[in-house]
Amino acid sequence: MKLLNKTAIITGGCKGIGYATAIKFLKEGANVVIIDLDQEEIEHAVTNLREYSERIEGFAADVTDKKRVETSIQFAIEQFGSLDILINNAGIVQDAQLLKMEEDQWDKVIDVNLKGVFLMTQSAALRMKEQKSGVILNASSVVGLYGNFGQSNYVAAKSGINGMTKTWARELGRYNIRVNSIAPGFVLTDMVKKMPEKVVNMMKEKSLLNEIGKPEDIANAYAFLASEEARFVTGTVLSVDGGLTP
Ligand code: NAI
């Protein structure tokens, strides 16, 4: 087991990639706390996740709310005694082309996808610094590497995550904290299911493997980066995209 007795927080863990990552981490022996917005959805997810292991808890928090973020970190430590891994997975899209984008769409996407990652990481890193070890993994996106039509708010956030990852890796390496990002390509989750079929088919054709990714593909990469097998990997943005960005 790659992650035996490690405690991981996974934001946005009720659905999609976050949920698949919770399953993978439980199978690898980790203690997992999922953080998400809705208490009922969390309870439902936790009940289902108990099929894989009893070492699963949930906590309702909006990652943009500093107080709740801090309480969520305390909660994980109270439940399992340490905090070893933070997966900043929660993210949203609100697409519009530049000429039509509302200020509110800009603010909301930047708030959740960028500020949320900052708040969670700062709060977690303070604890990890004390224990002189930790792993922080951020959800970027391939669009953060090459841009995307109608997604300037989302692209700004994901490019920002790549920059923060490299900066935090520099700042936190001295405390034995590794920081990396994963840039998924197209992965079949609710986020992608909302997109027009035409776009989804186009992305499939662009992939060198002629495939849309599965949440498990990203979960497996998170498990590798979180584990001791990746002990010498920090400050990197790993594309997991079926060759969308060769
Ligand atoms: P999803 O939409 O299926 O799930 C996101 C989860 O985050 C939901 O459970 C949602 O309730 C939660 N969430 C949203 N705002 C939150 C907040 N303020 N506080 C706490 N939780 C919040 O998303 P999916 O597709 O699983 O994506 C996960 C991450 O991967 C996101 O950061 C996304 O940008 C990124 N990503 C996804 C890709 C894809 O093709 N699905 C491609 C590239 C990146």
- What are the C-alpha distances in Å from 242 to residues 185, 186, 194, 206, 239? 7, 9, 21, 9, 9
Q: In a 3-state reduction of DSSP, which class is residue 181?
A: strand
pLDDT for 54-97, tens place per residue?
Answer: 999 999 999 999 999 999 999 999 999 999 999 999 999 999 99
Residues 6+ apart with CB under 8 A from 241: 142, 183, 184, 185, 186, 207, 213
Structural contact between residues 134 and 85, judged by C-beta atoms closer than 8 angstroms? yes
CATH class of 7-187+214-240: alpha beta
Which residue's CA is the closest to the ligand 1 atom numbered 35? 139
pLDDT for 139-192, tens place per residue?
Answer: 999 999 999 999 999 999 999 999 999 999 999 999 999 999 999 999 999 888
Instruction: Report the alpha-carbon distance of residue 185 to residue 240 in Å, rounded.
Output: 6
Average pLDDT in the 202-225 region?
A: 95
The C-alpha torsion from 174 through 22 and 39 to 188, rounded to 10°, is: 110
**ipTM attached to this prediction:** 0.99
Which residue's CA is the closest to the ligand 1 atom numbered 34? 91
Instruction: Report the alpha-carbon distance of residue 27 to residue 99 in Å, rounded.
Output: 46
Average pLDDT in the 120-134 region?
A: 98
- What are the C-alpha distances in Å from 180 to residues 74, 82, 144? 23, 20, 14
Confidence at residue 193, expressed as pLDDT on a 0 to 100 scale:
84
pLDDT above 70 covers a percentage of the chain that reads 100
Domain spans of the chain?
7-187+214-240
pLDDT for 14-30, tens place per residue?
Answer: 999 999 999 999 999 99
Ligand 1: which of 186, 191, 217, 237 to mutate, most ligand atoms within 8 Å of CB?
A: 191
Confidence at residue 119, expressed as pLDDT on a 0 to 100 scale:
99
Nearest atom of ligand 1 to the alpha carbon of 12: 7
Angle at 188 between CA 101 and CA 25, to 5 degrees: 110
Confidence at residue 130, expressed as pLDDT on a 0 to 100 scale:
97
Q: Average pLDDT, whole number, for the chain? A: 97
